[in-house]
Amino acid sequence: MKLYYAPNTCSLSPHIVLRELELEFELIRVDNKSKLTVDGQDYRTINPKGYVAALELENGQILTEGPAIVQYLADLKPERELAPPAGSWERLRLQEWLNFIATEIHAGSAPLFNTTLPETTKDIFREKLFKRFDFLQDTLAGRTCLTGSSFSIADAYLFTVLGWCKWFSIELHNWPALLAYQASVTLRPAVQAALRAEAPN
């Protein structure tokens, strides 16, 4: 399998999951500005949407959209319990989280990367995002993982998007459960390995 990724982006989530599952994979870096892969291919010929992440399977299929990719990966090794079985009620709960993270946190914070937006506009996005953080604070108080006590693909995704707060100068100290959650997920060996692999040389 090949994971097309760009450092510091949402592709960190499937990258963490690949390492958690100890699957064999190749990392292919994409320059999100030029849309060229590290070996000079036009990335849009791989993923016409032009954004990371994309997972290329051995059979040539290309799977895109982070929440779909991490579910595909988790189902390759169900015994590792990064996702409950497809069709179960618990799986729906996990999908509920993945959708929340994708639409409320990932898409909700993406405008804050936009250097052309005025601060007053960004304030509108921040205000909404902070409401979602309040909800996460209540959920994660006294819990180490989103769906209960064991790490899941939703945690790989939430950890990834929470990591962007440092680029937005958002202090997570206002949400101590989020800070504690981030600190505990950072310690996971697979997370450490993914962060090291994506760090500039």
Chain residues that interact with ligand GSH, rule: CB under 6 A: 6, 9-10, 32, 50-53, 65-66, 102
Distance (Å, whole) CA 70 – CA 67: 5
Q: Rounded to the nearest whole angstrom, what is the least distance from the CB of residue 41 to ligand GSH in the complex? A: 16
Nearer to ligand GSH, 125 or 137 (CB): 125
74 vs 26, 53, 86, 167, CA distance in Å?
17, 16, 10, 29
Nearer to ligand GSH, 6 or 82 (CB): 6
Q: Which residue has the tokens 């997920």?
A: 185
19 vs 10, 67, 179, 191, CA distance in Å?
15, 16, 23, 8
List % helix, strand, coil for the chain (3-state, nearest 5). Answer: 55, 10, 35
Q: What are the phi and psi torsion angles at 117 (to 5°)?
A: -80, 135
Q: Rounded to the nearest whole angstrom, what is the least distance from the CB of residue 168 to ligand GSH in the complex? A: 13
Q: Rounded to the nearest whole angstrom, what is the least distance from the CB of residue 14 to ligand GSH in the complex? A: 9
Q: Rounded to the nearest whole angstrom, what is the least distance from the CB of residue 67 to ligand GSH in the complex? A: 6
Nearer to ligand GSH, 102 or 180 (CB): 102
Nearer to ligand GSH, 37 or 144 (CB): 37
Instruction: Report the residue number whose CB is nearest to ligand GSH.
Output: 51
